[in-house]
Chain A
Amino acid sequence: MARLEINRITKRYGDVHAVRDVSLEVADGEFVVLLGPSGCGKTTTLRVIAGFAEPTSGAVRLGQRDITRLPPWKRNAGLVFQSYALFPHLTVAENVAFGLEMRKVPKSEVNERVREALRLVQLGQLGERLPRQLSGGQQQRVALARALAFHPDVLLLDEPLSNLDAKLRQEVRVEIRELQRKLGLTTVMVTHDQEEALTMADRLVVMNDGAVRQVGTQQDLYERPTDRFVAGFVGRSTFIDGEVEEPGRFRSVGGLLLACNATAAGPATLALRPERIMLRPAQNDGMDNHLAGVVEFVSYLGATVDIHVRISPKERVVMQLPNGTHGSASKVGDKVHVAWPAVNGIVFVGGTG
């Protein structure tokens, strides 16, 4: 395994920037996830690393090598595709052996390493089957075994779980992550599924419009999003537009005066996580922000309940409460009081989306 370094990659198709000035370092053995909506440039970035798209400018280094201009077959990167891309005319074992044959590994060693790779993904028995005789989950494992058998310098996963059903997906997430840790694989995964990204990554890269918006751990992204896009994409947020009138004081478009911990004045957006807003008695018990509101929408989600509360003619907040704790706010029209400490609000000055 090796360290991967992407240095100021830009990929332009005509006038369209698919990827704009993206830099990223993945440490040896680290699992980095590129996360973003479709069309955000995450897949193009992965294809640049794999060698299927040549960057307009910038460089890619893998270990000690500059691989920017190398064709895919000289990069030694293991790739797992969304569609698995198994060779339909070859058996499972032949699929897994393909990368080894290309490297002219002696026949006896090929068999040994194919067995090892299949054992790794718990498919030891199925070597003689054809891909179409396997379930989706099994095909996914074969694809993984094939990408690992030749001992790649980096493992690249392109939405590897999106064709599995929800239950299986959760199991495979954990399996891949444990395997990756055990083998110390330098891994880059692309996904649009934030839960998947949060479960698997050491670090996440949030992308939008071809550019990196934020790089960080799960906590960094959730607790300290650097812009409104990240706050909306990773986890949920209610956004209230307005203005920081003076340090610590936010006036919303709807006229609410709210305490916040912004230090710079100017147009801004206040973001609130739904589970960081509380239901309170009518009497303010010392919260920085304490507002009267009316329940407008309730959705029951089992473990939690979402409640939409109107707090001004122009503003509504969404709160998420553990089931059973929403007593006074159980139906539309209920009058409630909501509250949160100033530190629970995240302020983006400039109000950029």
Chain B
Amino acid sequence: MSIQGRMASLQMLGRVALKGAAGITLAYILTPLVFVTWLAFFRQEIPSFPPEGYSLRWFQAVAGNDRFVSGFILSLQVALTATGIGLCLGLPAALCLSRVRFRGREALSNLLLFPLVVPGIVLGIALYVAHVEVELATGLPIIGSLAGLIAGHVLIVIPWTVRLIMASLDGLDRSIEEAAQSLGANRLTTLRRVTLPAIRPGVVAATLFGFVTSFGNLEMSLFLVGPGRTTLPIAILQYLEWKIDPTIAAVSVLQILLVATVMLVTDRFVKISRVV
């Protein structure tokens, strides 16, 4: 075989290997999702193969389950509020960290990432202990309160908002801000008319990731919820302690659908893939 021929067949082999690896990875990621979705439509109560038939009864069961419904509403409430607050804190923090040189900037930037690094359980216990101490010291009802829960979620939203917005700002050509100023825009106008619109994809991605992180959080929330106040992931966990039936799969499918819809709709307006 000629050298060119050998090169060509080697290249072909490389391409096949690459596609194969990509295929395996994709299958690895998608298989659980496919099975969960499939399971949610089984008719029988005990998840076993092959299915005896298909039905939508488990979705009805979810809708009829007060704990799931109220958990969903609470999770939505908490995630939206925490994301909103996280954005309000994260945006100025990101602007400051990427635009102003000061001592301890690196350290502060890493500190803001910390809630991502600390395991959720540890974070939950630490917050719980802190809440107890503060409540004992001040008498304010903090333990198990909605405010306490939201505050905790703000903590895990902030790393996403700060980091993603900072990444956008760092990728932004500084000279467009200077151009705006040379054209007569003061700092505030420059921020409003040029900087924020230019980093919009980053802000949207930050919102999205913050929301998803908060909505799906289980470990930390376990320590922060109070009586009669249960988030959706906790409701799922509690349900699982009693029985295993396709209701759980149905809930999961609904959750996957929600997140996927949010992602797809957002992606139509800003290309998230450009940011993350």
Contact = CB atoms under 8 A, between A and B. Distances in A.
Interface of A: 50-52, 71-79, 81-83, 85-89, 98-99, 102-103, 143, 146-147, 150, 156
Contact of B183 (A51, A52, A146, A156): A146
Contacts of A71: 181, 186
A81 B175 contact: yes
B198 A73 contact: no
B185 interface: yes
A98 B183 contact: yes
B8 to A, nearest CB: 34
11 contacts: A72-B182, A73-B184, A73-B186, A77-B182, A79-B178, A83-B173, A89-B197, A89-B200, A102-B185, A146-B179, A150-B183
Nearest to B186: A73
Contact of B176 (A74, A76, A85, A99): A85
B263 interface: no
Contact of A87 (B182, B194, B200): B194
B110 interface: no
A102 B184 contact: yes
Contacts of A76: 184
B173 A85 contact: yes
Nearest to B175: A85
Contacts, number: 68
Contacts of B175: 81-83, 85
B106 to A, nearest CB: 20
B189 interface: yes
B180 interface: yes
Interface of B: 173, 175-176, 178-186, 189, 193-194, 197-198, 200
Contacts of B194: 87
Nearest to A89: B197
Nearest to B177: A85
Contacts of A82: 175
B182 A73 contact: yes
A81 B184 contact: no
A81 B189 contact: no
Nearest to B184: A102
Given A72-B182, A87-B179, A88-B176, 9 more contacts: A50-B178, A74-B184, A81-B178, A83-B173, A85-B179, A87-B180, A87-B197, A89-B197, A147-B183
Nearest to A98: B183
Nearest to A149: B183
A50 B177 CA distance: 13
A100 to B, nearest CB: 9
Nearest to B181: A72
B193 to A, nearest CB: 8
Contacts of A51: 181-182
Given A83-B173, A83-B175, A85-B176, A50 B198 contact: no
A86 B176 contact: yes
Nearest to A103: B184
Contacts of A52: 178, 181
Residue from the set B175, B179, B185, B200 with the largest chain A CB neighbour count within 10 Å: B179
Nearest to A96: B183
Contacts of B184: 73-74, 76, 99, 102-103, 150
A89 B183 CA distance: 16
B181 A99 contact: no
A89 B186 contact: no
Contacts of A83: 173, 175
A73 B197 contact: no
Please provide the 6 A-B residue pairs with the shortest distance between their CB atoms, ordered closest to farther. Answer: A102-B184, A99-B183, A85-B175, A85-B179, A79-B182, A72-B181
A51 B186 CA distance: 12
B186 A98 contact: no
B178 A85 contact: yes
Contacts of A156: 182
A116 to B, nearest CB: 17
B182 A102 contact: no
B272 to A, nearest CB: 17
A132 to B, nearest CB: 12
B182 to A, nearest CB: 4
Contacts of B197: 87, 89
Question: Which has the most chain A C-beta neighbours within 10 Å: B181, B185, B194?
Answer: B181
A98 B180 contact: yes
A51 B198 CA distance: 23
A66 to B, nearest CB: 19
Contacts of A150: 183-184
B194 to A, nearest CB: 6
Nearest to B194: A87
Contacts of B200: 89
